[in-house]
Amino acid sequence: MASVAYYYQNENNAEDEQVDRDSNNSSPEPQECNSPERILMLDPSEHFRPELSMNTYGKGVEEFRKYSEEEEDYIQRRVKRTYYQMHKNQTVRFVRSRINKWTKFNHAHLTIMEALVKLNSLIDESDPDSDLPNIVHAFQTAERIRATHPDQDWFHLTGLIHDLGKVMALWGEEQWAVVGDTYPVGCQFGQSIVYRESSFDGNPDLIDPRYNSKYGIYKPNCGLDNVLFSWGHDEYMALVLQNHPTCTLPAEAIRIIRLHSFYPWHTGGDYMHLCNKDDLETLDLIREFNKFDLYTKSAPVPDIEALMPYYQGLIDKYIPGKLRW
Ligand code: FE
Ligand code: FE
């Protein structure tokens, strides 16, 4: 992708470490103590949707918990805290430091299936009674796509791997830099971003004239490939795949993975002024994907063992070998 030009503007490791220290000082509440074997993870993107348009996706809006300014329970507080930390700390400088750090790809050497198994350590915190590991969500998403689009095997595999970038959490990344809705940095923050009114307070980019105008560092219709996004599992997984020499997934698959949490665009309708023709042509496909990604409690838990051979075949076809993470 063309965004490489933005990615490598910060090669300064000392600055990265300073960004780490700055961002670690930001949490007003103590962090949960995660054991390396079992990490509680809550991805608000998949569980908490304020958009009424979700009704049009064939699921009742009541199936998705709403964002709330009222801190009525632990999960609501956790969602709000994740977004406030994200919006305060994800600056242009922070994002460049994270790209710099994670595109060294020096954390592990794993096949897709090995990385999927690692997702078993990430437990979905929003439903603590069920203790569902993230790998279940991977197979559920893939199987729902397969049922609706049986002939598009690359799409099934895209569903299976779309959240694999969450493995960053196992190597110490902050959850507010792993999960949640994504949005561009380096220009004005879109009005449809959740908690937009107050959550960006304290973010220095908000008052930086280089970054707070409508276009900021971008040109009109420059294309989303050229846009720097808040750091998270979408961008990371797209970069891991692009770095893998034998990955033959179609370009649409990489775009779906890179943009699937960009709700302020694909659902909120913001940022159209940054899009080019390719982006707009991909929009329907990303919306189609998101129908299958959203969480429903009623979805059956798939028989992962029985499904393994089918998906291993797709991995062998499109993403063989060990990837660098
Ligand atoms: Fe995701
Ligand atoms: Fe997902």
pLDDT tens digits, one per residue of 228-278: 999 999 999 999 999 999 999 999 999 999 999 999 999 999 999 999 999
99, HSE (Cβ side, Cα atoms, 13 Å): 24
In a domain, 27, yes or no: no
The residue-averaged pLDDT of 31-38 equals 48
Q: Which helix (H) or strand (E) holds 86?
A: helix 74-89
For residue 216, what pLDDT is reported?
98
The answer to whether residue 308 scores a pLDDT higher than 80 is yes
- Closest ligand to 289 CA? 2
**Angstrom distance (rounded) from CA 134 to CA 18:** 32
**In which domain, by residue range, is 90 found?**
4-21+35-324
Q: How confident is the model at residue 138 (pLDDT cuts 50, 70, 90)?
A: very high
**Angstrom distance (rounded) from CA 230 to CA 203:** 13
In a domain, 289, yes or no: yes
Q: How confident is the model at residue 87 (pLDDT cuts 50, 70, 90)?
A: very high
pLDDT single digits (tens) 160-212: 999 999 999 999 999 999 999 999 999 999 999 999 999 999 999 999 999 99
In a domain, 105, yes or no: yes
Neighbours of ion ligand 1 (CB under 5 A): 163
The CA 233 to ligand 1 mean position distance, Å, reads: 7
In a domain, 12, yes or no: yes
| pTM of the predicted model as reported, rounded to 2 decimal places | 0.85
In a domain, 30, yes or no: no
Average pLDDT, the chain: 84
In a domain, 28, yes or no: no
Count of the separate structural domains present in the chain? 1
The CA 288 to ligand 1 mean position distance, Å, reads: 14
The single residue listed with the structure tokens 């969602």 is 79
The CA 147 to ligand 2 mean position distance, Å, reads: 17
The CA 297 to ligand 1 mean position distance, Å, reads: 17
The answer to whether residue 70 scores a pLDDT higher than 70 is no
Task: State both tokens at 293.
Answer: 């990604």
The CA 209 to ligand 1 mean position distance, Å, reads: 31
The CA 317 to ligand 1 mean position distance, Å, reads: 23
In a domain, 73, yes or no: yes
Q: How far is CA 150 from CA 107, 169, 251, 302, in A?
A: 35, 32, 19, 17
In a domain, 26, yes or no: no
DSSP annotation of 163 reads T
φ, ψ of residue 87 to 5 degrees: the values are -70, -30
